[in-house]
Amino acid sequence: MFVNIKDLFMPKQKTISAKAVIEYWEGQANKHPKIDEEQLSHINGQTNQARFFYSKTYNIAYRPTPKCASTSIKSVFFQIHYHKPFNPRDMNSPDIHKYFLANYKQVEVNPENSFAFAVARDPIKRFISGYRNRVLHHENIKKLLDIDGQKYKPPLLSDFALSLPGFIKISVSVAHHMSLQKLILGDNLQKYSQIFKIEELSDLMAELMKRTKLAVELPREQNYGPLFQLSGLSDDAFEYLLDFYKQDYDLLANQYTLESIKSEYFSQKNRFK
């Protein structure tokens, strides 16, 4: 049997329960203060609900939502203006997000006069994407797993789901990538010319190329991490997330429905029995 040589010298990490992580940090408030409602609103852009990144050249406005292809779409905006892919070294910026904040104005727009758009994603699939990419691949909660001198593996998917509100309170990354899309898109979708589903990115690209008369490519960004099916969630975790994201399903009823995600979940469950 093959043995990883690291295992001979390094103790294996144990997987910690989500409840244990939350309880520990709730008792360490002075070392790691909780994120309160005001901070959460700021992190997710609720204070600027009507503001978009705006291209005056093409009269196109975009409202980015984390884990809804925002890295890729910002890269497309860059291509449109500079006719080349984004390169951090060329632009003296560590990543496309920081470049956008520094170089694009955020403005209020009227969808009757501009093409104002956003991209949305099924809320539970967005959560799974956030878990695999931000928790497992980027290890954004790694510091929270260093408890009493022990370094633990992150909680499993369903366990993490059942403690999601607790992690949103103690992790800026989780708050940014996994809290409600409603906090970013706002309560009124009438301010958008169009909300594209993440499955409709080819339609979005066709619309952008029609409006700019430029041939641009949509790169696949931030798609790293182990793959999970909906069926990877326990029934309890799935039901919990349905309730947690209900406001998003209500807001995005024209794009994603509770009935559709339930049907897909139980279809997968039956298939993998």
Does residue 9 register a pLDDT over 60?
no
Q: Tell me, what's the pLDDT at 1?
A: 41
- Nearest by Cα to 177 from 205, 220, 229, 138: 138
- Residues 156 and 161: their CA atoms lie apart, in Å, by 9
Tens digit of each residue's pLDDT (9 = 90 or more) over 191-205: 899 999 999 999 999
Does residue 49 register a pLDDT over 70?
no
113-151: burial string, b at 16+ Cβ within 10 Å, e else: ebbbbbbbbbbbbbbbbbbbbbbbeeebbeebbeeeeee
Does residue 6 register a pLDDT over 50?
no
Q: Tell me, what's the pLDDT at 232?
A: 93
Query: Which two three-digit tokens encode residue 254?
Result: 């024209």
Give 120's strand partners: 197
In the predicted model, what is the mean pLDDT of residues 100-124?
87
Query: Which two three-digit tokens encode residue 259?
Result: 């009935």
Q: Kindly compute the dihedral angle of the four CA atoms of residues 243, 248, 254, 259, in this order, to the nearest 10 degrees.
A: -20
Tens digit of each residue's pLDDT (9 = 90 or more) over 211-236: 999 988 887 755 555 678 899 999 99
Average pLDDT of the chain to the nearest whole number? 86
Whole-model pTM: value is 0.88
- Residues 47 and 134: their CA atoms lie apart, in Å, by 24
To 5 degrees, how large is the angle CA 222–CA 223–CA 226?
A: 130
In the predicted model, what is the mean pLDDT of residues 106-121?
89
Tens digit of each residue's pLDDT (9 = 90 or more) over 242-266: 999 999 999 999 999 999 999 999 9
Q: Tell me, what's the pLDDT at 11?
A: 53
User: Which of these ranges, 54-68, 199-213, 256-270, has the smallest mean pLDDT?
Assistant: 54-68
Which element (helix H / strand E) includes 249?
helix 246-251
